[in-house]
């Protein structure tokens, strides 16, 4: 049976909003695009396309069951909450139209899924300030529309992959545990604060004489 858009959005609210900060009620569902806090934009058919729920002390995990009913989302922002668990590898399948993803300053763990490369429409991915581990997947270079990738303040290890897309304007992988060489093309385009400090093995903070860009390409 078809579930109305308000019912689908309430499903997400009931899973994450344990402190009842969001007054989403069935009696207001007909006007939810205009009046429900956090629902910023809807498609003509009433499907939610922009959901912004920042700093609401939301808890729980971003599961496939939670995300799948929101398949029309273009923008998802859940910054500065208390979300836990993994970033599901199935996120691109659940939200195939997603363009902007903001999950900064939560308590998310596990790796940055390589499957994020399947978010073909993505322009912004912000995962700063979590507890993410593992390596940064080279597959993210497949995101040809990506303009911003912020992964700073996590526990990531390994090397910085070559992200060759010319669309990339903002990159930050600082405050992790990365090591090794910074790809020359990235070192030429972004200043040292995009990469340093890092606390991986053999960490070296080398800069140019002007102190603006890494010179030896070693973290």
Q: pLDDT tens digits for 1-36?
A: 234 454 555 455 456 656 656 655 555 545 556 556
Structure tokens at 82: 């208390």
β-pairing, 39-42 vs 48-52, is antiparallel
Kindly give, in sequence order, each residue whose CB lies less than 8 Å from that of residue 166, ignoring residues fewer than 6 positions away. Answer: none
For the stretch 57-97, pLDDT in tens is 999 999 999 899 889 999 999 999 999 999 999 999 999 99
CB-CB contact of 147 with 123 (8 Å): yes
Please indicate whether residue 89 or residue 205 has the higher confidence score (pLDDT). Answer: 89
Please state, for a pLDDT cut of 70, what percent of the chain lies above it: 71
The whole-chain average pLDDT of the chain stands at 83
- Per DSSP, which regions of 84-201 are E strands? 100-102, 109-110, 124-126, 131-132, 148-150, 157-158, 170-172, 177-178
Q: Which CATH number applies to 5-181: 3.40.50.11610, 3.80.10.10, 3.40.47.10, 3.40.50.10320?
A: 3.80.10.10
Helix (H, G, I), strand (E, B) or coil at 94: helix
Minimal CA–CA distance to 153: which of 99, 206, 193?
A: 193
Q: Give domain limits for the chain.
A: 5-181
């Amino acid at each position: 049976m078809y579930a109305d858009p308000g019912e689908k959005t309430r499903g997400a609210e009931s899973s994450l909003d344990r402190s009842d900060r969001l007054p989403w009620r069935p009696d207001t569902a007909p006007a939810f695009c205009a009046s429900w806090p956090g629902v910023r934009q809807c498609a003509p058919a009433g499907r939610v396309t922009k959901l912004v729920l920042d700093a609401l002390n939301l808890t729980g995990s971003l599961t496939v069951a939670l995300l799948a009913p929101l398949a029309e989302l273009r923008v998802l922002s859940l910054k500065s909450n208390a979300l836990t668990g993994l970033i599901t590898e199935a996120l691109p399948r659940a939200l195939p139209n997603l363009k902007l993803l903001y999950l900064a300053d939560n308590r998310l763990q596990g790796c940055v899924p390589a499957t994020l490369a399947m978010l073909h429409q993505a322009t912004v991915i912000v995962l700063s300030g979590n507890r993410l581990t593992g390596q940064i997947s080279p597959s993210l270079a497949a995101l040809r529309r990506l303009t911003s990738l912020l992964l700073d303040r996590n526990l990531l290890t390994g090397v910085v992959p070559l992200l060759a897309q010319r669309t990339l304007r903002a990159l930050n992988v600082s405050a992790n545990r990365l090591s090794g060489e910074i790809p020359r093309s990235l070192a030429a385009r972004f200043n040292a604060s995009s990469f340093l400090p890092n606390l991986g093995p053999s960490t070296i903070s080398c800069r140019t004489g002007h102190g603006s860009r890494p010179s030896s390409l070693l973290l």
